[in-house]
Structures are given as C-alpha cells and as structure tokens.
Amino acid sequence: MSTIGTLYTVSAPSGAGKTSLVEALTQGSEHVQVSISHTTRPMRPGEQDGVNYHFLTHAAFAEMLKRNAFLEHATVFGNSYGTSAQWVESQLQQGLDVILEIDWQGAAQIKRLRPDAVAIFILPPSRAELQQRLQKRGQDDASVIERRMAEAVDEISHFDHADFVVINDQFDRALQELRCILECHRLRVGVQAHRWKSLLQDLLS
C-alpha cells in the first residue's frame, strides 16, 4: 500500500564521506532516490546531463527561478544550483524517499519550507582524519587544503541544526546507522497507519 515518502537532507564538510555513503545507501534500492540538481556550472569531463546534474544555461535557470520551480537554490562561485520542487514532490507522492545532498544553508532552506524534512549531518571522526582525507585526494596544494579545512570547520559548526548526526569513522557502521534512520521513519505511526489502513480497520472491527 502506497504512502508518502520522506524528504531527507544530508550535509557534511568536504572529506567526511557523504557522497560515498549516500551512493552505498541508495545502491540497489527501489525506495530511495537522490535528487539531481540543476546547475549553470559547465559540464566537466566524464559528467553526463541528467546523471550528475541537469545542466542549464543562465537564462534557463533564471526562467525556472522566476516560476518558483526550485525547492531551494544557491549561487556558489558564480554558478547557480537548484532542486526541482516538482520532481521532489512527484517522487514523494509515489511513496519514495528522496535524499538531497546539500550544505547546511540549503538544508535550512528546506527545513523552513518543509518542516517534515529530516536533516542528517555526517561528521568525520577527528579533525586530523578530515585533513588526512583531503590530502589523500592528491588534487590540491597546501593552500587549497587549508582553505577547504576552514570551510569544513564552518560547515561543522552548524551540525546542531540537523535532526541526526552520523560519525563516519568506520564506513560500514556509518552506512548501517543511515539505514536505521530511514527504516525508523518508515515505521512512524502516521506512515504505518496509512500503509496498513485496511489491516487496522480489520483488527479494530
């Protein structure tokens, strides 16, 4: 029996492992969808339209913004990003859970618009481990890593805006905790009362 899905926001500092955890969480799942953002950022090598992002011109993005088509939106380094409100709502109405990988500011926007959204924050096990993970990428010089660490500390300072916090020390354990959060929300009274309406009517008759 169908029921309305739950909207989740997942936030984390760069290097905390958010993307890897969300990919593992949704792999093979028929009940969870990850929202694909719209962006004006140029497509990078290896990326695909509709897979990594929905790539738009600035004019097309502005038109969607004018129509209030975004559930949330932000501009980062001169490029715009937004989440389609219509797509999210259609998935939720089909009974699917939707995950938005988003920073704390975007998560706060979502929470104001949809108080029923569930905010999850992923943290690294230590500052030293976070810095080591950023260095292991081997893509940035020392000054860039230092800037990313400063940005990470700023993001982490807003962890208490979330409903749940997961520490990504051991990947498998963090993944299991994320699964537990989703499963618990599927067992809430309101959800179960809708899903098992006929059963409850039969039991109470």
Please tell me whether 18 is known to bind a ligand: yes
* DSSP symbol at 132: H
- Among 75, 130, 85, 127, which Cα is nearest to 105's? 75
Please tell me whether 39 is known to bind a ligand: no
Give the separation between CA 121 and CA 167, rounded to whole angstroms. 9
Please tell me whether 128 is known to bind a ligand: no
Task: Classify 182 as helix, strand or coil.
Answer: helix
Please tell me whether 5 is known to bind a ligand: no
* DSSP symbol at 171: H
Task: Classify 98 as helix, strand or coil.
Answer: strand
Strand partners, 166: 122
Please tell me whether 125 is known to bind a ligand: no
Please tell me whether 15 is known to bind a ligand: yes
Q: Could you tell me how far CA 42 lies from the centroid of its own chain?
A: 22
Instruction: Specify whether the CB–CB gap between 194 and 41 falls below 8 A.
Output: no
Please tell me whether 16 is known to bind a ligand: yes
Please tell me whether 198 is known to bind a ligand: no
**Which residues sit in the known binding site for ATP?**
12-19
Residue ranges of the annotated binding site are 12-19
